[in-house]
Every structure is written in C-alpha cells, then in structure tokens.
Chain A
Amino acid sequence: MIERRAARLLSISGFRLALRSVGLSLAGAVLVFAIIYHASQATIRAALDQTVAGEIADIRSDVHDDHKPLTASVNDAVAEADGTFYALTGPNGALLAGNLTISPALARRWHGLATLHRHKDPALPRHVAAIRGRAVPLPGGQTLYVAENASALLALNRLIANSFLAVFGIILTLGLVGGYLAARASLRRVEAITATAGEIMRGDLSRRVPLSGRGDEFDRLALAQNEMLERIQALMENLRQVSSDIAHDLRAPLARLREHLELARRRHPGPELAAMFDEAIAQLDAALGIFAAVLRIAEIEAGARRASFAPVDLSALLEGLAETYEPVLAHNSQALSLDIAPGLQVRGDRELLTQMFVNVLDNAVQHAPGAAVALHARARAGGGADLILADRGPGIPAAQRARALQRFVRLDSARHSPGSGLGLALVAAVAGLHGGRVRLEDNAPGLAVHIWLPGL
C-alpha cells in the first residue's frame, strides 16, 4: 500500500520537479559550505603559522644575536608562553627543554609544518584538542618544535559540519514536505479531472471538471476541458436531435408508404398483385431495418447506455443463446459444440450483449451453412471473459478481416446472402461500449470471432 503510494507519488511530475529542486538546493549548500570551510581553515592556519614563525624567529635571534644557549632561550619562551608549546629534543629524542612531550612516534611524523590531533597523539597536553606548528631540524641532531594551540581549528570544523548538517536536513525536509504537499494537491486536481472524464465516458455527458477558483494552471486546463465538453455535449445533443428528427421525420414518410402498400394490398386482393405488394413491403422493411440498425449503432456509440450497466451472468446468457440457436443451426445442418466456463460475470447491458451474440451467431448461420460451429467462453487471466465463436465455413481473407467490422461493408462473398452489412459493425459497437474488443481471426479453415469483455 505504502509502496504503491510512493510509486504513485514518484510518478507525479510535480513531485519529481520538487525532488530535482531539492537536489539542486542541496548541491548549492554543499558548495557554499565547502567554500566557507576552506576559507576559514586557510585563515586560521595562516594566523597560527604566522605566530609559530614569529616564535621561531624570536628563539633564533636570541641564540644568534644574544648568544643565549638554545635550552635557556626555549625555557624563557616557555616561561612567557600562553597557548604556545615548545620542545627541544636531542639527537636521541630526549627532551632537552620545553613544555611539550615528543614521543618517538610523534617525532617520526612531525616534519616541517603539521597539524596534530590529540586523539592521534595522546602525549599532547591535556587541555588542547590539536596543535599546529613546525619542526625545525638544527645542526647537531637537535630538533626544535614550536606549536600553537589549534583547538579553535577543530571547533570551527565541528561548527561548520553541524551547521551544514542542519541546513542540509532543513532543505531536505522542507523540500520533501513541500514537494509531497504540492504533488498531493496536483494529484487531487488530476484525479478530479480523471474522475469526471470517467463519468463522462460512462455516459453522463453533463459532468464538468470542478474549478478551484485560484485561476492556476489546473483551472485553466479545467476551463479548456469544460469548454470542450460543452461543445461535445452540444454536438451529441445535436446528433441525438438529428437522429430522433430523422427517426420521426424521415421514417414517417417511409412508414406512410408502407401503410399505403398494406392498404392497397388489402383492397386489391388479386394473388398476382398481392405477391407484388408483399415484395415491395419486404424491400421497404429491409430499408427500414437498415435505417433502424444505423440509428441503433449511433445510439450505442454515443455511450449513454453505460449509465444503466449492471452485472450480467454471461455464462447463463450464453447457455440460453446456445439453447436458442441449437435448432436454428441444426436446421442449417450445422453442428454446435459448446465449452462455456461457469460463473462468467461482466458489467454491462444485458439486452445489447444479447443482441451482440445473436448477431455473431446469425453471422455464422448465414455465412457458414453446413459447417460446424464452436462456442468457447472462458475467464481471462486478469479479469473479464474471452469468447470465441468459430465456424468451419469459408472464412474471411486476412486482408478483409478488419474491414468486415465496419459499417455497410459487405464482402464480395456475402454479396448474395441476406444481411445489411451492419451485423458485425453492431458487434464491434457493443463490445466497444463495454470497453471490450472484437477481432476476426482465421480458424483455418473458417472464421473465428474473438470477443473480449472486461470483468466486473
């Protein structure tokens, strides 16, 4: 759960942007602190080094100019010392004068300028954390050590390190919290838009994306979307209006024509005329049927039926249809084999799903007379149902299969059999309404209509 949340947060562009700016701020902080560190270190070191150099010069001038013995000069310096350490060692390393114990290990490491830490050299005086000074080799194997208390150097290091950690932590925390809040806010807005889009796709065209009123980029996006939705709704209403206008206005004269033909047939009961009237009425009914099918497909594609979707027991529906079509197929010398998994459920429109399967079955009856038909229905891994109606008829050439799902497409081979060319188009429309898909496949030989429907 938490991992999924984190993954979702990371996938939000706002949060990634926040993370990037936190990274940049942290890099900036590192740079600034590095500069401060080096500048302060250099300054303190220079001051310490200058003091040490002065002390050494004083001792040298005592020895050279005043011809004082070196030990005495060192002892004098020690006496005046305040935070300065001196040592004079003989060739064997023994301390000849001074206030600093030089262990052999220390002597080995200390050449020229050096900073020495008490945690590495426990022989250093108790009250200092570090010293910095110079070892001066003298003629006769003696060595003069002069060093200043460098505790301040360490204290400053610690101060800088602590400040850096504090600043680093604050930037990181503020950045992450800010990024999280910004991401959550934008996620909420995006989810509001997504939810609205979902409801619209389920058929409620009157839904609009809510505005926050802050006039931010999301509001601008939402405004643009709402305007687009307004336009789509107007177009859909227009389409529906036109459809029902057509239904009423254009079908009315055709209906009247049919009435006239029926009346005429009743009034002129000659057998020859009756046959002509019957043929004319049948032609008219075919035209009206195509008309009704086109309107039906348009209605399905408009998606308003999604609003009334309910769970449908697909297994029971298919069993019932198989029972219904078994005599039709038998009459057409077609054997039917069934393999319907129990308990298949989908969310949808029972009436339209029934019509979809009826159209697929009708297709097999009309285009594969005498050929065996198999109906398979099984649960699909990851939800939903896979339905295959396969026949052993002539099939559809690969190049024409996709076209066969379009409206008014009647393949050459079907030109002389009954049908409007709308049956499979309606199948595709119903599957699409349910979020499913239809594919026509080769059954080698024959046609396999493969319908996938998503689960509950």
Chain B
Amino acid sequence: MRILLIEDDPKMAAYLRDGLAQEGYETDHAADGRDGLLAAAAGGFGLLIIDRLLPTLDGLTLLRTLRGAGVHTPALFLTALGGLDDRLAGLRAGGDDYLVKPFALEELAARVAALIRRNAVPPKPTRLRIADLELDQLSRTAWRGGQKLDLKPRELELLEYLMLHENQVVTRTMLLEAVWEFHFAPQTSVVESHISRLRGKVDRGFSRALIQTCRGAGYRISADD
C-alpha cells in the first residue's frame, strides 16, 4: 500500500517515511503543494498525508481541488494548525482525519491503518462477529457466547468501534473523538475507566480476553493473542 506524503519540511518528511516504513508502508514524497497535487491526481495511492502550510499551494486548497476533480483517495491532514476551527476546516475541505503536530508515531500509525482499511474493506455487514462475541448494529445488542450483554449505549458504541477495527490498534484519542466526540484530551482516565467497565462485561468469566491493551499505544480487539 503506497502512501503519498505532501510535506515541505525535509526533516519531518524523513521522520515520517522512516516511521511509516517500520509499519510496512511505502511512501512517495512531494515537497510542495503543486507537486503533491500532480502526484495525487495521477492516482495509485492508498492514502494521502497532507501538511496544511505548504509552499505554492496550501493543503486545504490542494485537497479541495482533488475532491473537486473526483479523486477520493483517503486524506489525513498532519499539521501544526490546531485551532478550534482548523480541524473543521480540514474536514470540510474533504479530509478524512486530522492530526495535530506534534504527535506520537503510534497515533499516526493507528490512524493510517484505520483509514486504509476503511477504504479497502467493503461495507460491513450489520452483524459484527469476533470469536464468540457478536454485535448487531441495527438492534444495538451484543452477545458473548450466546449470552446477551448488558451494555449501556456508550459502552455499546465503544465496543462497536473496537470491533469495526478488529485486529487494529485504536488509540485513546481515536476513541475520544469517535465515541465521545471529544476533540481535546481530558486530564482524567475517561477511556481507561470505560474500557475497564467494558472488559468487566465482555471478558470477565471467559477464558480468552478479546480486549487487549497495547502498551503506550491504545487498545485492540482481537481473537488472536
């Protein structure tokens, strides 16, 4: 899977390419907006990572132009602009995700994986299944080993998000954004507390724990150990 990185800072670009290579991705690099636009329009990429402040053509205009021309490659903005309206502007321009610098490589890797998979996998059935854990997205119900789980709406959303990203690491920030719509970091352990509750309901009493903690990165739901 090839990723196009549009970033004018050579050090940042080298760091990103290095980090993404460790995750198994090949990257092409464009050092300004115009080159990036041309490369992205040529196609063949699974994901675009775009800086917002670029020479010759800013990131927002670049992506808006691409979207206008019918290029729907997933795009992630990676930018120092972290103001209240900046994220919204990025999403409005056609961005699929928005990550503010500085960031942890684990955070970027998790988001890149989620975006690429979202695009590659056909639409999910409405019934998610991992080992003996099942979740029906329409009736908002979940079962483990055939036993109905007593989940609160928020816990079900959390479980649903984890199951939609089966075998992928999802970070705390991704969960906060997707499940709680928090675009800031609370000072307390909101995610940890809810995961702990969810574990108590999903995994307690079963020999195999499906919800796993990836130290320093986030959580993952998987039937594998």
Residue of B18, B19, B102, B194 ringed by the most chain A CB atoms within 10 A: B102
A325 contact set on B, CB distance < 8 A: 190
- In chain B, residues 194-216, which have Cβ atoms closer than 8 Å to a Cβ of chain A? 194, 196-197, 216
Range, interface on chain A: 35 or more
Q: Is the CB of A324 within 8 A of B190?
A: yes
- Given the interface pairs A244-B81, A278-B216, the reply to whether A266 lies near B188 with Cβ below 8 Å is no
Which of the 9-residue segments B32-40, B61-69, B137-145, B176-184 touches chain A? B176-184
Q: Is the CB of A327 within 8 A of B84?
A: no
B interface footprint on A197-209 (CB within 8 Å = 1, 0 otherwise): 0000000000000
Q: Is the CB of B102 within 8 A of A258?
A: yes
Let me know if B83 is at the binding interface, CB within 8 A.
yes
Q: Is the CB of B82 within 8 A of A256?
A: no
Let me know if A366 is at the binding interface, CB within 8 A.
yes
B187 contact set on A, CB distance < 8 A: 359, 362, 365-366, 418-419, 423
A281 contact set on B, CB distance < 8 A: 104
A256 contact set on B, CB distance < 8 A: 11-12
A interface footprint on B1-31 (CB within 8 Å = 1, 0 otherwise): 0000000010110010011001000000000
Of A247, A305, A328, A351, the residue contacting B81 (CB under 8 A) is A247
Let me know if A49 is at the binding interface, CB within 8 A.
no
Let me know if B186 is at the binding interface, CB within 8 A.
yes
Let me know if B147 is at the binding interface, CB within 8 A.
no
Taking the closest CB of chain A, its distance from the CB of B22, in whole angstroms, is: 7
Q: Is the CB of B102 within 8 A of A299?
A: no
Let me know if A248 is at the binding interface, CB within 8 A.
yes
Q: Is the CB of A289 within 8 A of B188?
A: no
Taking the closest CB of chain B, its distance from the CB of A255, in whole angstroms, is: 3
Range, interface on chain B: 35 or more
- In chain A, residues 252-304, which have Cβ atoms closer than 8 Å to a Cβ of chain B? 252, 254-256, 258-259, 262-263, 266, 278, 281, 288-289, 292, 295-296, 299-300, 304
A359 contact set on B, CB distance < 8 A: 187
Q: Is the CB of A324 within 8 A of B185?
A: no
Q: Is the CB of B193 within 8 A of A331?
A: yes
Let me know if B56 is at the binding interface, CB within 8 A.
no
Number of A-B residue pairs, CB cutoff 8 Å, is 95
Could you tell me the distance between the alpha carbons of A357 and B77 in the complex, rounded to whole angstroms?
A: 28
Q: Is the CB of A254 within 8 A of B102?
A: yes
- In chain B, residues 162-192, which have Cβ atoms closer than 8 Å to a Cβ of chain A? 180-190, 192
B22 contact set on A, CB distance < 8 A: 266
Q: Is the CB of A358 within 8 A of B182?
A: yes
Of B15, B18, B184, B193, the residue contacting A327 (CB under 8 A) is B193
Let me know if A352 is at the binding interface, CB within 8 A.
yes
B193 contact set on A, CB distance < 8 A: 327-328, 330-331
Of B15, B154, B183, B197, the residue contacting A263 (CB under 8 A) is B15
Let me know if B105 is at the binding interface, CB within 8 A.
yes
Let me know if B118 is at the binding interface, CB within 8 A.
no
Let me know if B53 is at the binding interface, CB within 8 A.
yes
Could you tell me the distance between the alpha carbons of A292 and B87 in the complex, rounded to whole angstroms?
A: 14
- Residue on A nearest B106 in the bound complex, by CB: A262
Let me know if B117 is at the binding interface, CB within 8 A.
no
- Given the interface pairs A323-B152, A323-B154, A324-B154, the reply to whether A252 lies near B80 with Cβ below 8 Å is yes
B interface footprint on A346-386 (CB within 8 Å = 1, 0 otherwise): 00000110110011011001100000000000000000000
- Given the interface pairs A259-B15, A266-B22, A324-B180, the reply to whether A365 lies near B188 with Cβ below 8 Å is yes
A292 contact set on B, CB distance < 8 A: 82
Let me know if A251 is at the binding interface, CB within 8 A.
yes
Q: Is the CB of B105 within 8 A of A331?
A: no
- Residue on A nearest B183 in the bound complex, by CB: A351
B194 contact set on A, CB distance < 8 A: 324, 327
Q: Is the CB of A299 within 8 A of B84?
A: yes
A263 contact set on B, CB distance < 8 A: 15, 18-19
Q: Which 10 A-B pairs have the closest CB atoms?
A: A255-B102, A327-B193, A362-B187, A258-B102, A328-B193, A365-B188, A259-B15, A255-B101, A331-B193, A248-B80
- Interface positions of B (Cβ within 8 A of A): 9, 11-12, 15, 18-19, 22, 53, 80-85, 101-102, 104-105, 152, 154, 180-190, 192-194, 196-197, 216
